[in-house]
């Protein structure tokens, strides 16, 4: 019989069990950690140094290098660490990482503490996640990682922080951090924060102000002094306590900072946030076209412009004044408001001093009517397409005479221009015709003297591109129209003695390091003779002195031209002094009739208001008269030297380009024997005959003002046999000269206005 020994059961040693469990937990944790590390390394974002360069605001300056606004996706202004005082730097070190200069990017004890807290949160403890992040880690998180709070992300953060410390100095890391962090109220970076909260640069912050900003960054929206001042001050005081505790400040500075009181900058986000919007929009469009959106809205450019804030403000106020515009009109149930635009430029340089693209700016990149809306210019185009080329190319001048009488151009569909009001002035000088905006003279200059192709070429020199469609272009009937900016630059060439400057709004562009990326290079070009420009200016002075533009008088020498299209759908005034040129347009975005409004009314009124203020700082002086200008007395009905029959009232003294003054004598005034009763050529029965000085002319309509001064073409049919008056005929005296032409021809000398100041509407034009 076999016997079995009973084996004694061994008891489990608690110590061994604990060690076994710990070993298993360690192995599992090590494997998990190794796996997590592998996964973290596998998904580790590339250390792309471009990510360290944050989106930085582009700054726009006026003509005095004063900052006017900033544009960009983030309100951030890059500054170097040398521009940030030491006490400002130390406020952030005290708040976030007082051992910043002692560690190598991470702090093991802080990470362990954060891990324990996070683990306790996972297992249900009522704890919050703790970052334990150094300034280097925070910069890494902002530049390379998403905001999720996971162990994987913390591992990646630590690895990238070590890389960061290996590549950059502590000073470089701190500078990048201070320029990157968000402070609330739309401010990114220390410079934007200092300006947003205190209206000053970072370099001017006090210890207390720096502490307040440092206290914001953990929760900018919750700790904002605009939202909760007491909470913000509490965090400020905690930062000051830390600064004192870590020996960044002494007790005296500490006590003084705690006692400091200060006022915050106006918190209204709309106050001065987007000043001079139409000008800024125009500059922004040019920047985007040249540098691209990425660089403009994120690249921290510094843009120095031509803007004169005072003149811009004058123009904006004038555009906002309801009394400066025609009354709104009603279309069905909608109320339509007339719009406006104005550009002011310095003629010597082409620099734009003010630009307004509408009566109000409703949203970013609103329609800019000054640059984006070509409109029909009406008679404002006459100096460019008719008078300018006639003087420059054909040797004409202010005293050249044109017959203002009906005309028809059969090759252009029997086009027959008419003057506003329907009358005709007869033989008049170019000065009189331009002063009172006589349509037929402008068309005759274009068609009979200059020719369309030459006029189009002359306009193109000033960047006014015209389709050569027909005679109506002389009166502003254009295919595409012109913008106020284009017309301003063209008129500036007259003010600048024939030299054209392309419009300039940006003088210089620098990157955030101060490297110049662009600098405007003046490229003036001569587009007409000096004498042409001066003669045109002198004629347009007459427009302002006693013509259609009297509403633009500003108490100093000024020249200009009104423009009104058919039924007043577009009304203009373009004018200038020696120092500034300005153009005003008024109309509806979708053309609407304004039959009672003209270029000489509201546009001239706005021009006068703005330019009077703009010239307050400029001494009054006349236009510079170039060499080659002479004066001579001529016959105002022929444009020739006065002849033996020229009556005194038909003698005018005017200006000429040297060499174009007449050498021939007047032969238009002739002695004619007429019947003393009828004023017609006498027949054999007329009992009394007189000799009169009359005008020899090829054509005159009975509706022409000087018709009764013309040599009669009919023979007297009043007197019959024995010199008796035929009872069937009118016995009235037709010999009286009912023309006021004598006064008009003396406009140059006596300055009287014999035409309506607002009578400049071109008719029969392409509207």
**pLDDT at site 701:** 81
Asked whether the CA dihedral 427, 428, 430, 435 is positive or negative, the reply is negative
Query: By percentage, how much of the chain surpasses pLDDT 70?
Result: 81
Q: For residue 749, is pLDDT > 60? A: no
Six token digits for residue 263: 């006022």
pLDDT surpassing 80 at residue 25: no
* Choice among 201-215, 270-284, 514-528, 541-555 with the minimum mean pLDDT: 270-284
Per-residue pLDDT, averaged over 20-47, amounts to: 53
* pLDDT in the model for residue 45: 57
Which whole number is the average pLDDT over 612-640?
97
Q: pLDDT at residue 294 above 80?
A: yes
| Percentage, residues of the chain above pLDDT 90 | 64
Segment (H or E) for 194:
helix 189-198
What is the DSSP code (8-state) at residue 326?
P
594 Cβ neighbours under 8 A, 6+ residues apart: 326, 338, 567, 568, 569, 571, 587
Q: Residue 584: which of 397, 389, 375, 382 has the closest Cα?
A: 375
Q: What is the pLDDT of residue 360?
A: 86
Does position 633 have pLDDT exceeding 60, yes or no? yes
**Alpha-carbon torsion angle 529, 532, 537, 540, nearest 10:** -150
Confidence class for position 767, pLDDT limits 50, 70, 90: very low
The answer to whether residue 6 scores a pLDDT higher than 80 is no
Instruction: Please state the φ and ψ torsions of residue 628, each to the nearest 5 degrees.
Output: 95, 10
pTM metric for this prediction = 0.78
CB 344 within 8 A of CB 353: yes
pLDDT band at 270 (very low <50, low <70, confident <90, very high): very low
DSSP string covering 342-381, please? Answer: EEEE-TTT-BEEEEE-SS---STT---HHHH--B--GGGG
pLDDT 10s digits, 122-148: 445 444 433 468 888 888 887 766 555
Output the pLDDT for position 53.
75
C-alpha distance from residue 400 to each of 371, 405, 530, 535, 753 (Å) = 36, 16, 19, 12, 20
Return the pLDDT at 698.
Answer: 72
Task: Give the per-residue pLDDT at 703.
Answer: 85
Find out whether 517 and 508 touch, Cβ atoms under 8 Å. no
Grade residue 317 by pLDDT with cuts at 50, 70 and 90.
Answer: very high
CA angle (589, 387, 344) in 5-degree steps: 45
Which of the two residues, 106 and 503, has the higher pLDDT score? Answer: 503
For the segment 55-77, the average pLDDT, to the nearest whole number, is: 90
E strands, 174-264, are 187-188
In the structure, what pLDDT confidence band is assigned to residue 268 with cuts at 50, 70 and 90? low
Across the chain, mean pLDDT equals 85
Residue 191 has pLDDT above 50, yes or no: yes
pLDDT at 335: 79
Give first-to-last CA distance, the chain, whole Å. Answer: 133
Task: Kindly indicate the confidence band of residue 203, based on its pLDDT and cuts at 50, 70 and 90.
Answer: very high
Q: Which homologous superfamily does the CATH classification assign to the domain defined by 78-259?
A: Biosynthetic peptidoglycan transglycosylase-like (1.10.3810.10)
pLDDT of amino acid 128:
40
Stretch 436-450: mean pLDDT: 98
What pLDDT, on a 0 to 100 scale, did the predictor assign at position 116? 55
Rounded average pLDDT over 323-335 = 83
Residues 741-752, mean pLDDT to the nearest whole number? 35
Domain ranges of the chain: 78-259, 669-750
């Amino acid at each position: 019989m076999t016997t079995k020994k009973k084996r004694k059961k061994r008891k489990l040693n608690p110590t061994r069990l604990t060690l076994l469990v710990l070993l298993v937990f360690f192995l599992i944790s090590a494997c998990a950690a190794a796996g997590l590390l592998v996964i973290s390394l596998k998904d580790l974002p590339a250390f792309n140094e471009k990510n360290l360069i944050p989106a930085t605001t582009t700054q726009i300056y006026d003509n005095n290098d004063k900052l006017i606004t900033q544009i960009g996706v983030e309100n951030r202004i890059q500054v170097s660490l040398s521009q940030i005082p030491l006490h400002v730097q130390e406020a952030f070190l005290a708040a976030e990482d007082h051992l910043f200069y002692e560690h190598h990017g991470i702090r093991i004890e802080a990470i362990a503490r954060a891990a324990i807290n996070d683990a306790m949160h996972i297992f249900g403890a009522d704890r919050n996640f703790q970052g334990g992040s150094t300034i280097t880690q925070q910069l890494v998180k902002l530049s390379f990682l998403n905001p999720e709070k996971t162990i994987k992300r913390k591992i990646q953060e630590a690895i990238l922080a070590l890389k960061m410390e290996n590549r950059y100095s502590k000073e470089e890391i701190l500078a990048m951090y201070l320029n990157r962090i968000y402070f609330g109220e739309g401010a990114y970076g220390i410079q934007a924060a200092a300006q947003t909260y205190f209206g000053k640069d970072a370099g001017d912050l006090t210890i207390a102000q720096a502490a307040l900003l440092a206290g914001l960054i953990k929760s900018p929206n919750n700790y904002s002094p605009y939202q909760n001042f007491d909470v913000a001050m509490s965090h400020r005081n905690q930062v000051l306590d830390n600064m004192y505790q870590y020996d960044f400040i002494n007790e005296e500075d500490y006590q003084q900072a705690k006692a400091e009181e200060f006022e915050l900058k106006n918190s209204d986000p709309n106050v001065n946030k987007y000043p001079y919007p139409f000008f800024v929009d125009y500059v922004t469009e040019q920047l985007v076209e040249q540098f691209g959106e990425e660089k403009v809205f994120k690249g921290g450019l510094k843009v120095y412009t031509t803007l004169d804030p005072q003149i811009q403000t004058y123009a904006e106020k004038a555009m906002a004044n309801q009394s400066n515009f025609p009354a709104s009109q009603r279309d069905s149930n909608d109320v339509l408001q007339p719009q406006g635009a104005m550009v002011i430029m310095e003629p010597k340089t082409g620099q734009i001093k003010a630009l307004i693209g509408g009566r109000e700016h409703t949203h970013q990149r609103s329609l800019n009517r000054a640059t984006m809306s070509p409109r029909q210019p009406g008679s404002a185009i006459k100096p460019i397409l008719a008078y300018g080329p006639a003087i420059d190319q054909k040797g004409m001048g202010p005293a050249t005479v044109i017959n203002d009488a009906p005309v028809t151009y059969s090759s252009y569909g029997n086009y027959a221009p008419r003057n506003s009001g329907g009358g005709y002035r007869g033989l008049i000088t170019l000065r009189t015709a331009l002063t009172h905006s006589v349509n037929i003279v402008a068309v005759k200059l274009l068609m009979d003297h200059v020719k369309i192709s030459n006029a189009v070429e002359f306009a193109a020199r000033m960047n006014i591109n015209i389709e050569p469609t027909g005679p109506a272009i002389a009166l502003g009937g254009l295919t595409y129209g012109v913008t106020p900016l284009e017309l301003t630059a063209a008129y500036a060439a007259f003010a600048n003695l024939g030299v054209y400057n392309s419009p300039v709004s940006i003088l210089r562009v620098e990157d955030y390091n101060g490297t110049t990326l662009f600098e405007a290079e003046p490229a003036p070009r001569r587009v007409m003779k000096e004498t042409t420009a001066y003669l045109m200016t002198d004629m347009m002075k007459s427009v302002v002195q006693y013509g259609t533009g009297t509403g633009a008088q500003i108490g100093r020498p000024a020249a200009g031209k009104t423009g009104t299209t058919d039924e007043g759908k577009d009304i203009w005034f373009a004018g200038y002094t020696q120092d500034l040129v300005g153009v005003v347009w008024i109309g509806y975005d979708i053309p609407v009739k304004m039959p009672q409004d003209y270029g000489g009314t509201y546009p001239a009124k706005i021009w006068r208001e703005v330019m009077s203020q703009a010239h307050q700082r400029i001494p009054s002086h006349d236009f510079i008269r170039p060499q080659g200008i002479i004066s001579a007395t001529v016959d105002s009905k022929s444009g020739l030297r006065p002849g033996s029959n020229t009556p005194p009232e038909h003698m005018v003294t005017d200006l000429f380009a040297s060499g174009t003054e007449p050498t021939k004598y007047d032969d238009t005034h002739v002695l004619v024997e007429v019947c003393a009763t009828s004023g017609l050529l006498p027949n054999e029965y007329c009992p009394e005959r007189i000799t009169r000085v009359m005008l020899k002319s090829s054509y005159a309509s009975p509706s022409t003002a000087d018709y009764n001064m013309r040599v009669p073409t009919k023979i007297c049919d009043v007197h019959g046999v024995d010199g008796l008056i035929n009872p069937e005929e009118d016995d009235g005296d037709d010999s009286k000269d009912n023309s006021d032409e004598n006064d008009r021809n003396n406009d140059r000398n006596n300055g009287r206005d014999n035409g309506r100041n607002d009578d400049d509407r071109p008719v029969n034009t392409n509207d």
